[in-house]
Structure 1
C-alpha cells in the first residue's frame, strides 16, 4: 500500500478510534541500568522486558562463556540490579506484575518450560513451552511447544482457536482479557485475536483488508496493540484496536522490509511504544518509537543532546503511566547492547 494511502487510512481511523488529539512530545533522559551477570572477559548483552509503576525494570542478561550462552533475569533500579532465581542459570523473564511476580521461560535439561516466579516463594515450571505475560492475579499466558495458546492460573487451560489449531497468547490484563496471534490453517495467514468471557474473537473480522496481524499487548481498558499488513510479504504497520475497531499508526519509514509493530501500551492509554525498521536496505536497523495520540516519533529524536550521541534506542519493552520506558539500546562507544530506562524530562 502506498505511503499516501497509509497516511489517509491512519488519519481517518485514528480519529474514528479516539487516537487523534494534541499531545506534546517529551524529551527523554537515558539511564543505563547496571547488571549483575556480565564479566569483562565475556561477551554479553542485556534486553529490557518490562517496567512497573515505580520505574523498576525487568531485564534479561545473556552471557557467552566457554561457547555456551547463559541467561538470567534481573530486576533493576538506577542504582543496582538483583538476580531473579539465582540458582537457575537459563531464564528469560518477560513480564512482571505489581506484586513482583514474573512470567517467562526457564530451560531445564535443555527443555523450555513456561514458568511463573512468585516473589519470595521461588519458581514453578508449569508447562513445556513459553510464557509471555502475567497479570495482577498471577495468571500467566503463553504457548506450548506445539504452539497452542494457553492460560495458566491454578491449572492449564487451552484457548479456543477458531479457524486454526495453533497460536500464541502474548498478553493478558487484570480482567483476564487475553490477546495474541492465531495461525489460520485454511489460508496460512496469521490473525490477531482477543479472548474474553470464554470467547476468542478474530480481530481481523472487522478489517477484511488484513492478511496477517498479531496482538502483543492489552491494557486494563481493553485497548489492544500490535501490527498488521494487507498482503503476504508486505511490511507491517503498528496498529491499535479499540472497541473492536482498528487504527493504523504506520511506521517510522515507508518502504522498509519489516515495517513496524506496537509492543506495549500504558494503563492510561495515552502512549504506545514499539519498534520500526528505519533503513529500506538493512533489515537489522530498527529504532524504538513512541506514539502519543498525535504522531509516531522516533525515540532517538527525543533524547537529550548529551544522550543522543551515546545511545541508539532499538526496542522498547514497556511504558508505565509516569511515561518511563524500559528499552534495549546500543551503547555507541562499543556497540554493546544494554538495558536502559528512559525518563521524560519535559
Structure 2
C-alpha cells in the first residue's frame, strides 16, 4: 500500500474512530478471571485468548477455562513476545550454537519454532512477518528474509509493532538526540511522527490496522503523556489530573485506546474516552469494582476485549484478567 493511500486511510479512520469513541463514551466492562495467578499480559487475540508471562518464568496462552504452556525451544532460554489470530508466535531464544535469535512458530505448518535471525522480536503481523532488533539495536523486518530498518538520524532505532499492511511503528533517535515516534512504510525512509510542542521525546508503541498509532509524548514538566498519532499529527490525551503521567499501550481497529497512568500514589489502568484517559476501574460494573484493582490495561482486540492486570490488595500478586464490554 502506498504512503498516500495509508495517510488517506489513516485520516478517514481517525475521524471514524473519534466518532465511535464519542458515541460510546462510557463503555462499561465485566471482569473475567483467567487461569493463572502471578502473571503479566503480553497480547490478546480476536477470540479473547491472552498470551502471558508467569512469575514462574514460563509463558502461556490462556482463556477462561485453561492455560496452554508454551514450550522452551530446544530446552534453551526462551521468551515469547507476541502472537496473531492464526496462532503464530514470535519470541527469542538462545541458539545452541550461540547468541540470541528471533524465533517464529507456525502451528499450521507443524513442528517446532524456527530460528530466523540474530536478535530479539517485538511483534508479529497477521501473515507472520516479524519486527525486532539485534542486541546492538539494528532494527529489521523479517518476512522470508531480513530487511533492515534505518533510524531517523542517530543510532538505536527500535520497532515495537507492525500492522496487517506491514506499517511499522516504534522510536528512533533524532538530530536533537531525543527519541522520536517513528513509522516505517515499505522500503521508504523512516517517517518522524513528531511530538507535542514543547515536549522532549515520543514513542509510537502500537498501531492498528487503520494506521493509527498510540504511545506517549514526553512532557518535561510532568513526564510521559499518552498520545495518539494519526494523519500527520500528535494528539496528547488528557489524564485525570494534570500531575499524572502515563502512556497508551494498545489500540483496536475501532480506535479504542487503553493504557496505564500513575496518579502520584499508584498505577491505574486507563481507557480513552474522546481525548481523555479515564480510570478503567471506574468503568467496571459495581460488583466487579468491589473486587478488582486494575493497575494496567495492556492490550485490546477488535471485539473490545481488554487484557488487564489486577493486583491483589492483600498479597500484591498480579493476576491477568479479561474485560468484556457490556454496553
What TM-score do the two structures reach when normalised by structure 1? Answer: 0.81
Matches of 2:45 and 2:237, distance apart in 1 = 25
Matches of 1:28 and 1:177, distance apart in 2 = 31
Contact 1:73–1:93, Cα closer than 8 Å, also in 2: yes
| Bigger Cα displacement from structure 2, 127-136 vs 170-179 | 127-136
Q: Does 1:47 align with 2:40?
A: yes
Aligned counterpart in structure 1 of residue 277 of structure 2, from 282, 296, 308: 296
Q: 1:313 matched to which residue of 2?
A: 294
Q: Does 1:147 align with 2:137?
A: yes
Quote how far apart the aligned CAs of 1:176 are: 0.7
Q: 1:180 matched to which residue of 2?
A: 170
Q: Does 1:99 align with 2:86?
A: yes
Matches of 1:107 and 1:341, distance apart in 2 = 32
Residue 78 of structure 1 aligns to a residue whose secondary structure is: coil
Q: 2:63 matched to which residue of 1?
A: 77
TM-align CA RMSD? 2.3
Q: 1:60 matched to which residue of 2?
A: 53
Residue 307 of structure 1 aligns to a residue whose secondary structure is: helix
Say how many residue pairs are matched: 305
Q: 1:239 matched to which residue of 2?
A: 227
Quote how far apart the aligned CAs of 1:298 are: 0.8
Q: 1:273 matched to which residue of 2?
A: 258
Q: 2:154 matched to which residue of 1?
A: 164
Structure 2, unaligned stretches of length 5 or more?
1-13
Matches of 1:336 and 1:89, distance apart in 2 = 27
Structure 1, unaligned stretches of length 5 or more?
1-16, 39-44, 64-70
Deviation track 1:27-59 (CA, whole Å, cap 9, x = no partner) reads: 222222113xx7xxxxxx311111111111111
Contact 1:264–1:274, Cα closer than 8 Å, also in 2: yes
Distance 1:209 1:322, change over 3 A: same
Residue 122 of structure 1 aligns to a residue whose secondary structure is: coil
Q: 1:13 matched to which residue of 2?
A: none
Residue 300 of structure 1 aligns to a residue whose secondary structure is: helix
Quote how far apart the aligned CAs of 1:294 are: 5.3
What TM-score do the two structures reach when normalised by structure 2? Answer: 0.85
Aligned counterpart in structure 1 of residue 209 of structure 2, from 220, 228, 232: 220
Aligned counterpart in structure 1 of residue 184 of structure 2, from 161, 172, 195: 195
Residue 138 of structure 1 aligns to a residue whose secondary structure is: coil
Contact 2:31–2:288, Cα closer than 8 Å, also in 1: yes
Correspondence list, 1:318-337, <5 A: 318-337=299-318
Contact 1:23–1:294, Cα closer than 8 Å, also in 2: no
Quote how far apart the aligned CAs of 1:234 are: 4.2
Distance 1:300 1:208, change over 3 A: closer
